[in-house]
Amino acid sequence: MTINAATPQKKTLMTRRQFFAWAWAAAIVALGGQAIAMLVRFIQPVSTSGFGGLVRAGKVDEFTPGSISQIKAGRFFLYRMNDGSFLAMYQKCTHLGCSVPWVPDEDQFHCPCHGTLFDKTGQVLGGPAPRPLDLFSVVIKNGEVFVDTGNPIQRQKFDPSQTMKA
Ligand code: FES
Q: Which of 91, 96, 99, 102 to mutate to test the pocket of ligand 1 (most atoms within 8 A of CB)?
A: 96
Give pLDDT, residue 12: 63
pLDDT above 70 covers a percentage of the chain that reads: 86
Comparing 9-13, 34-38, 96-100, the range with the smallest average pLDDT is 9-13
Instruction: Tell me how far apart the alpha carbons of residues 137 and 89 are, in angstroms, rounded to a whole number.
Output: 9
CA of residue 69 to ligand 1 center, whole Å: 21
Give pLDDT, residue 16: 82
Section 134-154 average pLDDT: 97
Instruction: Tell me how far apart the alpha carbons of residues 5 and 155 are, in angstroms, rounded to a whole number.
Output: 80
Section 64-90 average pLDDT: 98
Q: Please state, in angstroms and as integers, the Cα–Cα distance from residue 59 to each residue in 66, 68, 72, 123, following that order.
A: 16, 14, 16, 26
Between 130 and 11, where is the model more confident?
Answer: 130
Instruction: Tell me how far apart the alpha carbons of residues 104 and 66 are, in angstroms, rounded to a whole number.
Output: 12
What lies within 8 Å, CB to CB, of 160 at 6+ separation is 85
Is the pTM higher than 0.75? Answer: no
Give pLDDT, residue 149: 98
162 lines ligand 1 (CB under 6 A): no
Section 156-160 average pLDDT: 97
Residue whose CA is at the smallest distance from ligand 1 atom 1:
96
